[in-house]
Amino acid sequence: MKVFAHTEPGGAAQELEVERPALEGSAVMIRVTNSGVCHSDVHCQDGYFDLGDAGRFELTAVGADYPLVLGHEIVGEVVAAGPDASVTLGDTKYIVFPWIGCGECQACSEDRENYCSGRKRNLSVQLDGGYAEEVYVPDERYLVPLGDIDPSFGATLACSGLTSYSAVQKVMPLPPDEPVAVIGAGGVGLMTVAVLKAVGHRNIVAVDMSDAALANASQVGASATVTVGGEDLVGDIVKAGGGKLAAAIDLVNNGDTSTAALFAMANGGTLVSVGLFGGQYRFPTALTAFNLLNIRGNFVGSLPELKELVALAQDVKLPTPPLKEVPLSVQEVNAALDGLRNRTLNGRAVLVAS
């Protein structure tokens, strides 16, 4: 089978021919039909995440091994299954939960595999991901039936959708007219706006540097927008929301955005830090106490949260961010990653098998 793999950190993807692995237990092979290209794949392509003053977080330190196949927003069909799997082979489409933990630690035993402290098996980090004809999934339990959801949109639910859903769970419930800022209107930001709207929130302030991104945010449910670049970002955010923020979900999460969000926060407000752009909080610690603030991290989401999100997407018509479908090929993998890196890609790219 063909995979589009990175043979070392920093390079372009290359087409390689590899053997299909032997399947034990309830493992399955999925023929990839739709594979989303996520911004975190750009960091994975680099091989590290920027930790500000603390240096770099290298993927090899958490078990990434090259050649590595990126891509963790996968929809596909079961083409082979281990002896203990009960799933039937065929053309039923599934969303693959990619944030697979060790299966042994306390968090994994509580179905919170994104909190796993053991040897993770995340697809596109420790295990190969979905820029490939087929992808190995260690257990059929990680397959969530797609139902009648559009497959390219469904693919994006596994990462940007799930991250958004899990972040929104960390600020809800809130009265629907309390201001909530969504900072960063790229793929995850658009989905966050869409999920907030789907759960009934009305006062959603989208913040971004790009007016095109903000136009997308308005389309999927933002009630106000703020273009970064004015002299008083905090004042602009507070004005757009009609008051200080009850919560902010920061999909950029660099030193500037996290600091602005904290200064714009009402007493008791919650900042959910999601983005991986790197930097440091620059905020008086005493104000965190005086203002009773909550600062929470969010990294992707759990398998139960993905099932809830898929049920939500089947129930409520979630607004679809702009999707650009391109052929599943090594050229398009590289073009999509470059487009994300250079900010020339508006909306989401999804690789689609022919």
Bridge partner residues of 257 (DSSP): none
CB 161, CB 29: distance < 8 Å: no
* Helix (H/G/I), strand (E/B), else coil: 54: helix
Q: Please identify which residue in 26, 33, 35, 40 interacts with Zn ion, judged by CB under 5 A.
A: 40
- State the Cα–Cα distance between residues 297 and 137, nearest whole angstrom: 27
Q: Near Zn ion by CB under 5 A, which window of 107-115, 149-157, 208-216, 322-330?
A: 107-115
Picking from 30, 27, 31, 34, the residue whose alpha carbon sits closest to that of residue 141 is 27
How does DSSP classify residue 157? Answer: I
Which C-beta is closer to Zn ion: that of 39 or that of 201?
Answer: 39
Maximum separation of any 2 CA atoms in the chain, in Å: 63
Which C-beta is closer to Zn ion: that of 262 or that of 303?
Answer: 303
Q: Rounded to the nearest whole angstrom, what is the least distance from the CB of residue 237 to Zn ion in the complex?
A: 26
Which C-beta is closer to Zn ion: that of 108 or that of 336?
Answer: 108
Going by DSSP bridges, is the β-strand pair 180-183/204-208 parallel, antiparallel, or unpaired?
A: parallel
Angle between helices 187-198 and 162-169 (to 10 degrees): 50
Q: Please identify which residue in 9, 118, 147, 322 interacts with Zn ion, judged by CB under 5 A.
A: 118
Which C-beta is closer to Zn ion: that of 38 or that of 247?
Answer: 38
Binding mask 123-162 for Zn ion (x = CB under 5 A): ------------------------------------x---
Q: Near Zn ion by CB under 5 A, which window of 16-24, 25-33, 35-43, 304-312?
A: 35-43
- State the Cα–Cα distance between residues 156 and 95, nearest whole angstrom: 9
Tell me how many residues contact Zn ion (CB under 5 A): 9
- State the Cα–Cα distance between residues 252 and 246, nearest whole angstrom: 18
Q: Does 79 bind Zn ion (CB under 5 A)?
A: no
Q: Rounded to the nearest whole angstrom, what is the least distance from the CB of residue 174 to Zn ion in the complex?
A: 26
How many CB atoms sit inside 10 A of residue 344's CB?
9
Query: Between residue 49 and residue 78, which ones bind Zn ion under the rule CB under 5 A?
Result: none
Q: Please identify which residue in 108, 155, 214, 262 interacts with Zn ion, judged by CB under 5 A.
A: 108
- State the Cα–Cα distance between residues 242 and 5, nearest whole angstrom: 48
Which C-beta is closer to Zn ion: that of 101 or that of 138?
Answer: 101
Which C-beta is closer to Zn ion: that of 149 or that of 191?
Answer: 191
Binding mask 86-105 for Zn ion (x = CB under 5 A): ---------------xx--x
Which C-beta is closer to Zn ion: that of 101 or that of 339?
Answer: 101
Q: Which residues bind Zn ion (CB under 5 A)?
A: 38, 40, 101-102, 105, 108, 116, 118, 159
